[in-house]
Amino acid sequence: MRILILIAIALFLYIIINNQLRKLKSTKPKTITEQMVQCEHCGLHILQNEAIEEDHHFFCSQQHVEANRHSKQ
């Protein structure tokens, strides 16, 4: 009879722990949706964190930052 009680307690704890783990998983912050931006020079779409920002404009590469600078002058 004692074994049955122990099994019941173990099962009860198992269910509680499982629920807690599920809650922890579901409350994890969602992966930040990566914003796409367009290169001001060639129009290529790139991720904002990979883009080079200059004067509130985004560029796919340093070359296009330079190219845009030259085209403005």
Pick the closer one to Zn ion by CB: 3 or 45.
45
Question: Is the CB of residue 61 less than 8 Å from the CB of residue 52?
Answer: yes
Instruction: In angstroms, give the least distance from the CB of 11 to Zn ion.
Output: 60
Residue 29 to residue 18: CA distance in whole angstroms: 19
Determine, following the binding rule CB under 5 A, whether residue 60 of this chain makes contact with Zn ion: yes
Determine, following the binding rule CB under 5 A, whether residue 64 of this chain makes contact with Zn ion: yes
Residues 27-56 that bind Zn ion (CB under 5 A): 39, 41-42, 44
Interface with Zn ion by CB under 5 A: which residues? 39, 41-42, 44, 60, 64
